A and B are shown apart, each in its own frame.
Chain A
Amino acid sequence: MNKYLKYFKIGFLQSTEYKSSIILSFVSPFIIAVFFYFVWGYLYSLSDGLIGGFTFKEMIFYLIFGLLIHTIRSSELAEKICEEVKSGDIAIYLCRPVSFVKSVFAKGFGERIVQIVMVFIALIVITLVANLPIPNIQTLGILVIYLILFIIFDIILYSIIGAFSFWFTEIWGIRRAVEHIQLVLTGRILPLSLFPLWFSSILKFTPFYYMEYSFASIYLGKFTMIQAIFGVGMLLLWIFILLVILLIVYKIGFKKLEALGG
């Protein structure tokens, strides 16, 4: 267990290595957020007050949240795994694919822990500033669970993408394609309520419905507690499915690596 604690610490230290990087990574969304504020303000001034079921304040919150969530993503993970496969470093895990997954998790969490705290602080600040109602304790609790599940799902997803490097020399193409599709399907660019009904109904069977859109809706009180808990269940289900896929993919991948002799 101590070994994984070490990975956690490495991940944490690495993410705080470039101090200006942390600052910049929050300045950047902040600038965009201000931008959004003016752009959407203009749009709302021409509308009837509601777009996609969200008021102006809620929409701003929704979009800012989408930006903040981005800082939690483990997008470099796929490339890192790809590099390890290319360089052959991954061979040390050859006999123990399970511990590879575990170390990826520990490191991933270490890197993201700071962001989780920051995200929550930012959210609370925005809520106060925008004069939106702060969710009660139960809701906040559920939301923390959601965030943690996001990270887990994200790590698994990127690890699976990374696993493609056993078969392809570059995986950035796959990664970016997946990210783009996710952008639309999780509602990050537009609330899913702005899509035709049949589309969002299909999405309810995928894990994507229960990400950005659900989180923001829960926070803004547009979902009931039951819907929220149902979402948690779906996320857990999908995490389980992906985990199985992950282990299978890596077992096959490692076998292929063995056959090649590194």
Chain B
Amino acid sequence: MKKENNKIKNNDSIVEAHNLRKVFRIPKKQKDLSWIKKKLSWFYREWLDKVAVDSVSFKVKKGEILGYLGPNGAGKSTTIKMLTGILHPTEGEIRVLNNLDPIKNRKEYTQNIGVVFGQRSILNYDIPVKDSFDLFQSIYQIPEKRYKERLNFLVKLLKIEPYYEVPYRKLSLGEKMRCELAASFLHKPKIVFLDEPTIGLDSQAKLIVRDFLKDINKKDGVTIVITSHDMDDIEELCERIVLIDKGKVYYDGKLNSFISKYADSKNIRVHFKKILDKEKFKKLTQKKSFQKNHNTITFKVSANKKLGEYLSDIFNIVEVIDVEISEPKLEKIIAKVYRENE
């Protein structure tokens, strides 16, 4: 492996991924063989190279909340696993914190990170949550006084006082996730990786989690890398996103710019008092993209059309009271981007 001396030069990045590549060898699935032959295939198995991550490079700035997005199978989880030191990259380099390598400097690195997987718990299943926290205190060697203060702080912020003494397995999904979050922030890590943290949570739990992440990011200055399929999460929390598809980075930049760039239309709703030009109005509302509802018309305008011209036309057709302009939901934009990339 070519050893590039990619030191973290500027003080802003806390994680740097350079040309990451991960290839898995999986046994070939011979779908067209009868199932008996499949059983015998133990003697002549063929292997397939599956490229999970193709050449991903990006940086995470200190103190930011980064959204790492992509459709299922895009390589998100694989990238996060490489960044946290769980998987060895096939090629490429990762530099974290003070120029550390997640695998070579594992002990030092893990002392300063927190990880929460959406599907797998980091807390002990059978014992009360408090005991798991105590164990974490020993694992991360948190001094007693600091531990107590931190614990109180997190418990209050995440509202988990009532669940604290309960065995983990008895909690609901939302309660579990909040406990996991508390555990992963206990030792005041510099970076926290969250993999689908709000999956399966009800709306109230989601709000608590989002508020918590915003608060702790502000208070501790902790960098958060979050992957999520919930676009509300991303819109609420992330200023910057990295979009990955088919193992490659598709977009890396500000969320706002992404929306502006890829949103193909804007939604306009016009409230009017009365119709000024009946004929032109009839023509307008016959168009498919127009919807009329009492004194409101709703329609879409594609991003490349000049909004101003449209609106001045409308102003001549009806007596306008109010105009609402909104951008389409991030969810729809992203779904469209995934579809187009297929």
B42 partner residues in chain A, CB cutoff 8 A: 19-20
How close is B334's CB to chain A, nearest CB, in angstroms? 32
Name the residue on A nearest B42 (C-beta): A19
Name the residue on B nearest A23 (C-beta): B42
How close is B108's CB to chain A, nearest CB, in angstroms? 38
B39 partner residues in chain A, CB cutoff 8 A: 16, 19
How far apart sit A16 and B38, CA to CA, in the bound complex (Å)? 11
How close is A196's CB to chain B, nearest CB, in angstroms? 44
Which residues between 1 and 42 of chain A lie within 8 Å of chain B, taking CB atoms? 13, 16, 19-20
Name the residue on A nearest B39 (C-beta): A16
Which residues between 7 and 51 of chain B lie within 8 Å of chain A, taking CB atoms? 35, 39, 42
How close is A117's CB to chain B, nearest CB, in angstroms? 15
Which residues between 51 and 109 of chain A lie within 8 Å of chain B, taking CB atoms? none
How far apart sit A20 and B39, CA to CA, in the bound complex (Å)? 11
Question: Chain B: interface secondary structure?
Answer: helix
How far apart sit A19 and B27, CA to CA, in the bound complex (Å)? 14
Name the residue on A nearest B43 (C-beta): A19
How far apart sit A19 and B42, CA to CA, in the bound complex (Å)? 7
A20 partner residues in chain B, CB cutoff 8 A: 42
How close is A16's CB to chain B, nearest CB, in angstroms? 6
How close is A27's CB to chain B, nearest CB, in angstroms? 15
Name the residue on A nearest B126 (C-beta): A169
How close is B150's CB to chain A, nearest CB, in angstroms? 32
How far apart sit A20 and B43, CA to CA, in the bound complex (Å)? 11
How far apart sit A20 and B45, CA to CA, in the bound complex (Å)? 14
B35 partner residues in chain A, CB cutoff 8 A: 13
How far apart sit A20 and B42, CA to CA, in the bound complex (Å)? 9
How close is A5's CB to chain B, nearest CB, in angstroms? 15
A13 partner residues in chain B, CB cutoff 8 A: 35
Name the residue on A nearest B35 (C-beta): A13
Name the residue on B nearest A18 (C-beta): B42
A16 partner residues in chain B, CB cutoff 8 A: 39
Which residues between 204 and 218 of chain A lie within 8 Å of chain B, taking CB atoms? none
A19 partner residues in chain B, CB cutoff 8 A: 39, 42
How close is B169's CB to chain A, nearest CB, in angstroms? 8
How far apart sit A212 and B83, CA to CA, in the bound complex (Å)? 56
How far apart sit A19 and B39, CA to CA, in the bound complex (Å)? 8
B36-79: CB near A (< 8 Å → 1, else 0) gives 00010010000000000000000000000000000000000000
Name the residue on B nearest A22 (C-beta): B39
How far apart sit A36 and B35, CA to CA, in the bound complex (Å)? 38
How close is A115's CB to chain B, nearest CB, in angstroms? 16
Name the residue on B nearest A9 (C-beta): B35
Name the residue on A nearest B169 (C-beta): A86
How far apart sit A261 and B249, CA to CA, in the bound complex (Å)? 46
How close is B270's CB to chain A, nearest CB, in angstroms? 50
B189-207: CB near A (< 8 Å → 1, else 0) gives 0000000000000000000
How close is B30's CB to chain A, nearest CB, in angstroms? 15
How far apart sit A19 and B35, CA to CA, in the bound complex (Å)? 13
Instruction: Give 5 pairs: A residue, B residue, CB < 8 Å, sorted on A.
Output: A13-B35, A16-B39, A19-B39, A19-B42, A20-B42
Which 5 A-B pairs rank lowest in CB-CB distance, beginning with the nearest?
A19-B42, A16-B39, A19-B39, A13-B35, A20-B42
Partner-A contacts on B (CB < 8 A): 35, 39, 42
